[in-house]
């Protein structure tokens, strides 16, 4: 059995296979992870245009955002709330957005932080620079091109589940954070009742993009292993339009029927109604690097 990527315990159990990917659950920390037998390059190749803009360039078997560009307004609203949350802890300074995509969070953070982004996707980094005028470098979070203690804040919004070697990535985050600096992580809790109830039908499963679904306990253990502090956990309410929810289900479950309903509703008045909800499995973790 493969060892747990979050707590490194070898006591893991095979739970199911989905789209040929074997999933294991750690008996110690309850994280759920894929036993990945692909190289980095094969994984990273999935983050092209088809991942961010899947409704215009659907390729079978590749799932991502219906249209990241079209979600600008709702994502920006959500990121504004996350920025307010971050600023309760740190009001300014240097900020690294790890997994910045098109740079929407960085754009909103510009009045308060000197920000820069890193993303594995060359496509996303080009869109960030050309369309949104935000500095996003192409690179792996395992190797950030910055001296020790460069940043006051690192944010990882919905990215930690994508990372092939999360312990290496978080150790690098700990290196580039200043002593006393803060890391913010948003992700899903795989030990929550809802993912456990849904099993292999849980919408967040999406290998080879989503690889390790942490539990809160697993995240606490890996943060400590990486030289960071213990996380504090908060709920993560987000805003969605009904067509967005339907389109996301269409992409997650590869249903053209749902995708077309979503696209039709998007052009109707229904698109004006925004639902604010916190999925029970979603959370934000705040982690402070020890000051000494
Ligand atoms: Zn574990």
pLDDT digits (tens, 9 = 90+) for 165-194: 999 999 999 999 999 999 999 999 999 999
Q: What pTM does this model have?
A: 0.89
Class of domain 42-58+69-237+280-288: alpha beta
- Residue 284 in contact with residue 234, Cβ under 8 Å? yes
Q: What CA–CA distance (Å, rounded) separates 232 from 229?
A: 9
φ, ψ at 136 (rounded to 5°): -125, 120
Token pair 């932080």: residue: 113
Residue 207 Cα distances to 21, 46, 195, angstroms: 7, 10, 15
Structure-token pair, residue 178: 């200043």
Q: Report pLDDT digits (tens) over 202-235.
A: 988 989 999 999 999 999 999 999 999 999 999 9
Q: What CA–CA distance (Å, rounded) separates 164 from 34?
A: 10
Distance 173 CA to ligand 1 centre (A): 20
The mean pLDDT of 146-167, rounded to a whole number, is 97
Distance 166 CA to ligand 1 centre (A): 12
- Top mean pLDDT of 51-65, 104-118, 195-209, 270-284 is at 104-118
Q: What CA–CA distance (Å, rounded) separates 42 from 32?
A: 21
- Residue 3 in contact with residue 9, Cβ under 8 Å? yes
Structure-token pair, residue 54: 């899947």
In the chain, what are the domain boundaries? 42-58+69-237+280-288
Distance 219 CA to ligand 1 centre (A): 9
Distance 164 CA to ligand 1 centre (A): 15
Token pair 């070697």: residue: 165
Distance 180 CA to ligand 1 centre (A): 26
Tell me, what DSSP letter sits at residue 259?
H
208: preceding bond cis by omega (within 30 degrees): yes
Average pLDDT, the chain: 91
Distance 213 CA to ligand 1 centre (A): 10
Distance 110 CA to ligand 1 centre (A): 37
Q: Which among 105, 103, 114 has a CA at the least distance from the CA of 84?
A: 105
Distance 248 CA to ligand 1 centre (A): 29
Distance 273 CA to ligand 1 centre (A): 40
Element (H, E) at 51: helix 49-52
Distance 29 CA to ligand 1 centre (A): 4
Token pair 């009742």: residue: 193
Distance 5 CA to ligand 1 centre (A): 7
Per-residue confidence (pLDDT) for residue 189, from 0 to 100: 97
Distance 216 CA to ligand 1 centre (A): 10
């Amino acid at each position: 059995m493969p060892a747990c990527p979050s707590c490194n315990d070898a006591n893991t159990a095979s739970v199911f296979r989905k789209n040929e990917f074997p999933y294991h659950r750690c008996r110690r920390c309850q994280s759920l992870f894929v036993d990945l037998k692909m190289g980095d390059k094969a994984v990273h190749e999935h983050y092209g245009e088809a991942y961010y803009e899947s409704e215009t360039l659907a390729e079978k078997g590749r799932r991502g955002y219906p249209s990241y560009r079209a979600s600008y307004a709702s994502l920006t609203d959500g990121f504004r709330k996350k920025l307010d949350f971050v600023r309760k802890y740190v009001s300014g300074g240097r900020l690294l957005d790890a997994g910045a995509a098109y740079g929407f969070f960085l754009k909103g953070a510009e009045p308060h932080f000197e920000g820069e982004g890193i993303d594995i996707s060359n496509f996303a980094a080009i869109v960030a620079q050309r369309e949104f005028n935000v500095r996003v470098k192409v690179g792996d979070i395992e190797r950030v091109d910055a001296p020790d203690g460069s940043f006051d804040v690192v944010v990882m919004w919905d990215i930690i589940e994508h990372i092939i070697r999360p312990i290496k990535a978080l150790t690098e985050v700990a290196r580039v954070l200043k002593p006393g600096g803060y890391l913010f992580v948003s992700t899903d809790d795989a030990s929550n009742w809802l993912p456990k109830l849904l099993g292999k039908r849980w919408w967040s499963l999406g290998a080879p993009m989503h690889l390790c679904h942490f539990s809160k306990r697993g995240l606490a253990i890996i943060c400590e292993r990486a030289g960071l502090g213990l996380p504090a956990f908060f709920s993560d309410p987000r805003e969605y339009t009904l067509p967005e929810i339907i389109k996301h289900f269409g992409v997650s479950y590869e249903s053209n029927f749902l995708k077309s309903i979503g696209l039709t509703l998007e052009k109707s008045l229904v698109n004006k109604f925004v639902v604010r909800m916190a999925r029970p499995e979603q959370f934000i973790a705040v982690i402070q690097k020890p000051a000494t």
